Amino acid sequence: MSLPHFTLPTADLLSGALMVQGTTSDAGKSTLVAGLCRLFARQGVNVAPFKPQNMALNSAVTIDGGEIGRAQALQAIACQLPPHTDFNPVLLKPSSDTGAQVIIHGKALTTLEAKAFFGPESRGYKTLALAAVMQSYRRLQQQYSLVVIEGAGSPAEINLRDGDIANMGFAEVADCPVIIIADIDKGGVFAHLVGTLALLSPSEQARVKGFVINRFRGDISLLQPGIDWLEAYTQKPVLGVLPYLHDLHLDAEDALIDSPQNPLSATLPTTQRLSVLVLVYPRISNHTDFDPLRLHPHIDFHYVTMQSDASSTVWPNADVIILPGSKNVRADLAFMRQQGWDIKLKTHLRYGGKVIGICGGYQMLGELIDDPLGIEDIAGCSKGLGLLPITTVLTVSKTLTQVRGHLRLQHQQAEFSGYEIHCGESSLTQSDVTQPLSIEQDAQQTMPITKLDGMVSNDQQILATYVHGLFDHPAACQLILQWAGLASHHAIDINQIREQQLNRLADVLEAHLDMNTLKGIIS
């Protein structure tokens, strides 16, 4: 499938490529790339995002039927483009502490151990991955005027330099300029920048055209002597100092966002709030599903982790417990049992609470999960929680599809769109079950299809589905919240919030970056 074009009335005044690398993980690379993409798109530049290799469990289904990292899907939205596999040609999805599923051009190829990526035996993988990366990059160059590229981690990870395709290894092959961003909120920002530069080769150092300092709070004049020293010492400009942006709500690449939800929630009486818990197991995936709940003013939202559970008082007060997606369903189910969460879940149901399972969480609620081929980890079969009449078999073929249809709950219905991304195929073990989702058309096909998905338990306490993104649609989200016990309060529109936040980010970049110098670097 050819890549989509975003047709603009304004002629492109900028062409080329720019790579954003960081001194550390979470320095702000993804956010800076998203903001630049939106800023350039608003200025009439035909721009596309690119990340050669990503490691993340939050992913999105693309227009061409593959999957890419969630951050690149957000960056595509910033460019006003549908997500495409060429925006992130290599995606690694960790399934254990040492292994990860390899996804190239949107399709899962195999699961490899860490040594196959980074150790002496990695040459074959890196040759294959680099070829895929350069194929995608060349296609983007042909169809877009500007490609904004995101690195991964830090270019100064010297133990990973051999055969690197994510940072300077790619920049050298692609011959593109690089800027480096550092997070001053972590402390030691000048040491981070100088140290990173010092660990690069002479040709890589020459490729670095400037620095960006991120998440600054306070009086900028107090930072100026350090900026002057840095520029004199490195002979490279500081292109801007970006302020700390409070309450910036954008899709997370991987890390859980545990900042407080909408502050209005704390001011409301408990009778006007819904308490929602999301269980966090080691291989939780696509937790961006829950951003619309986390930001809802009438929802008291909590992630429950192994660390937080020991002192947690939220379990007895929960109205809804959510089992999210998982990259290793059987291992995460075993983890739940080790924590005693299965017992707490059943106690919650016994006292009338509601439970929602999504994708891997749906599979866990069933009777059996069979992985005969070791698709996600070690081959074997696990007994499920036994709360829904389904059995699941994990297969080589992976479902990757964008869907839309109608959600029916309590004699009401609402339209939705979303996506499915799973290896398991689930079968009903009873015929008298309610399947609430009617998927009426695959967004990638021209002929309408009809498929029922999900399940509502006979006692109306459990709702489960394979579809991600249900909460993103206000009507469907509101219907689910009413089922859960929160009546007469409208759901928020996360898509509208995302647009507002991307434009806010672009405004900040325009105000705080030296755009003339930056455009000169690109051109």
pLDDT tens across 209-255, in order? 999 999 999 999 999 999 999 999 999 999 999 999 998 989 876 66
Say yes or no: do domains 16-249 and 264-493 share a fold: yes
Whole-number pLDDT of residue 447: 55
* Least confident segment among 23-37, 113-127, 209-223, 274-288: 113-127
Helices (H), 201-352: 202-207, 220-234, 264-267, 291-294, 306-309, 329-339, 341-350
Whole-number pLDDT of residue 104: 94
Mean pLDDT of 32-36: 98
The CA distance from 233 to 278, in Å, is 48
Tens digits of residue pLDDT in 160-218: 888 899 999 999 999 999 999 999 999 999 999 999 999 999 999 999 999 999 999 99
Mean pLDDT of 475-498: 91
pLDDT > 70? residue 6: no
Mean pLDDT of 29-53: 97
Residues with Cβ within 8 Å of residue 451, at least 6 apart in sequence: 438, 439
Q: 16-249: which CATH architecture?
A: 3-Layer(aba) Sandwich (3.40)
Residue 220 to residues 31, 127, 149, 214, 215, Cα–Cα distance (Å):
21, 45, 28, 12, 12
Tens digits of residue pLDDT in 108-163: 887 666 555 555 556 677 888 999 999 999 999 999 999 999 999 999 998 888 88
Whole-number pLDDT of residue 433: 92
| Residue found under tokens 């995608």 | 136
The CA distance from 19 to 487, in Å, is 47
Whole-number pLDDT of residue 200: 97
| Residue found under tokens 């009778």 | 271
Tens digits of residue pLDDT in 351-384: 999 999 999 999 999 999 999 999 888 899 999 9
Regarding the domain delimited by 264-493, which CATH topology (the fold level of the hierarchy) does it fall under?
Rossmann fold (3.40.50)
DSSP structural state of residue 271: G
Whole-number pLDDT of residue 323: 98
The one-letter amino acid at 518: L
Which pTM was predicted? 0.89
Model confidence band, residue 268 (pLDDT cutoffs 50, 70, 90): low
Model confidence band, residue 520 (pLDDT cutoffs 50, 70, 90): very high
* Least confident segment among 79-83, 240-244, 262-266: 262-266
Whole-number pLDDT of residue 254: 64
Choice between 310 and 157, residue whose per-residue pLDDT is larger: 157
Q: Supply the residues annotated as catalytic.
A: 359, 468
Whole-number pLDDT of residue 309: 75
Per-domain residue ranges of the chain: 16-249, 264-493
pLDDT > 90? residue 78: yes
